[in-house]
Structure 1
Amino acid sequence: MSKAVVLLSGGLDSTTCLSIAIKEGYDVYTLSFDYGQKNNKEILCTQEIVKYYSIKEHKIIKVGNVGGSALTNDDIEVPDYQGLPNIPVTYVPARNIIFLSYAVGYAEVIGAEAIYIGVNAVDYSGYPDCTPEFIEAFQEVVKVGTKAGINGRPVKILTPLMNLSKAEIIKLACENNAPLHLTSSCYRGGDKACGVCDSCVLRLKGFKEAGIVDPVEYV
């Protein structure tokens, strides 16, 4: 059975990606990151999600916090949703560059042929590291900067959610019986989701458009 690494944040999109990788028949290994995010609940969610799927190996990598983001800095407040600017203060500098770099290394070690990442360029917050252009460029880096790539077998970066709306992602997750009740999307990361940050608003909008009730609790 072919192996795949799934980047699992504990949120809706990455959990949907995990359900897709499993449905497509991969032997899945999950990788999560503690990068100093205020939403520590995310990490707890990843642990419950991997238990749900009986994932054989789940790594949580702790990486340094370079600052500069409302998601990691206590002195930068997470804003309520006010419409999405080009790049909001919740952008975490180089986050997916770092995450994918670890994932590529891990994939080489275990002999995985693919990496799943739940980036989306439709209902998203305008992050530059969630675009098709970024993924295409990083795939080129993998081709020329890894042993597997030089040998003609570069690890494939798969982005099955890239062109889906949030409603379409939610419908797909439900079709795959993904455990959305175990996920956390809120940027503030309280016991209950705030319902008013960018991530909560996009999630709630998606559930409404999908005609499905969000199973997580809100303030």
Structure 2
Amino acid sequence: MTVQENAPKAVILLSGGLDSSTVLAIAKAQGYACYCLSLDYHQRHNVELLAAQRVAKALGAQAHKTVQLDLSLFGGSALTDNAIAVPEYETQGIPVTYVPARNTIMLSLALAWAEVLQSRDIFIGVNALDYSGYPDCRGEYVSAFQQMANLATKAAVEGQTITVHAPLIDMTKAEIIRAGHALGLNYGLTVSCYQADSRGAACGVCDSCRFRKSGFVQAGLADPTRYRDAEKLI
């Protein structure tokens, strides 16, 4: 699908993982001119940023920017502090892979770019069903941020209401995968693993890998993910 010349602009938060890539495919299918924003926060799995570049290019994003912001200065998460191990088993409660305020930071950056672009739409791939217990992946959080955005920005005060779209919020991982597959998204371009190696090969045992693997099984589709253990057998 080609983008119409007068298509509305949208800022898409793109990590390079399965969910955010699906959101980009959905926004494009809805006719938006997509401006992708990634965050290099010194995450353990920073190979996902290369995946974000691949996905943005494959789906014809109008632009793709990566913001540098070192959240490892604060730590407090297995994704930003190498001294904290990524759990390789099912966890209870909010896991140590939760990055404090990450979605708030990313949405704030997306909001800033949206104002500059004169865009009224921001897309984020949060999901309240197949998620790891993160408090900033809930529908009420998205609604609260949208309300704040419409109080705090010049554009909104002047009548340009901003909408934060979370199209995956009530979908299972299998439903997300089916939706992306129907739109022709190549999930082989994406990286979801919290401890993927420098080539993007996944561990297969972290929360993110388990949700992803289960999603493909339940969707009845082949899993294109490269797993490290499988590569050892080659």
Task: Using structure 2 for the length normalisation, give the TM-score.
Answer: 0.91
1:136 to 132, 135, 143: 143
Percent identity (aligned):
49
Whole-Å Cα distance in 2 between the matches of residues 145 and 86 of structure 1?
32
Tell me by how many angstroms 1:114 deviates.
0.4
- Residue type matched to 1:3 in 2? K
Once the two structures are TM-superposed, the CA of residue 120 in structure 1 deviates from its matched residue by 0.1
**Using the alignment, how far apart are the partners of 1:193 and 1:35 within structure 2?**
20
Query: Is 1:212 the equivalent of 2:218?
Result: no
Greater Cα offset, 166-175 or 59-68:
59-68
CA distance in 2, matches of 1:80, 1:213: 23
Structure 2 CA distance, aligned partners of 1:53 and 1:11? 14
Q: Mind listing any 5+ residue stretches in structure 2 that lack a counterpart? A: 1-6, 229-234
Q: SS in structure 1 opposite 2:141?
A: helix
**1:54 and 1:210 mapped to 2: Cα distance?**
26
- 2:38 is paired with a residue whose SS is strand
CA distance in 2 between counterparts of 1:130 and 1:22 reads: 22
SS, match of residue 10 in structure 2: strand
Could you report, residue by residue, the CA deviation over 1:40-64 in whole angstroms, capped at 9, with x for unpaired residues?
A: 1101111111221232211000112
Amino acid at match of 2:151: V
Q: Deviations over 1:13-60 (max 9, x none)?
A: 000000000000001100000001010110111111122123221100
Which of the pair has the greater relative contact order for Cα pairs under 8 Å at 6+ separation?
1
Q: Does residue 87 of structure 2 align to residue 79 of structure 1?
A: yes
Query: Could you tell me the TM-score, scaled by structure 1's length?
Result: 0.97
Q: Where does the alignment leave 5 or more consecutive residues of structure 1 unmatched?
A: none
Aligned to 1:181: 188
From 29, 33, 51, the counterpart of 1:45: 51
2 CA distance for matches of 1:46 and 1:7?
10
1:105 aligned partner, one-letter code: A
* Equivalence for 2:35: 29
Segments of 4+ moved more than 4 angstroms: none
For residues 85-129 of structure 1, give each alpha carbon's deviation from its aligned partner in whole angstroms, at most 9, with x where no partner exists. 220000000000000000001000011110110000000000000
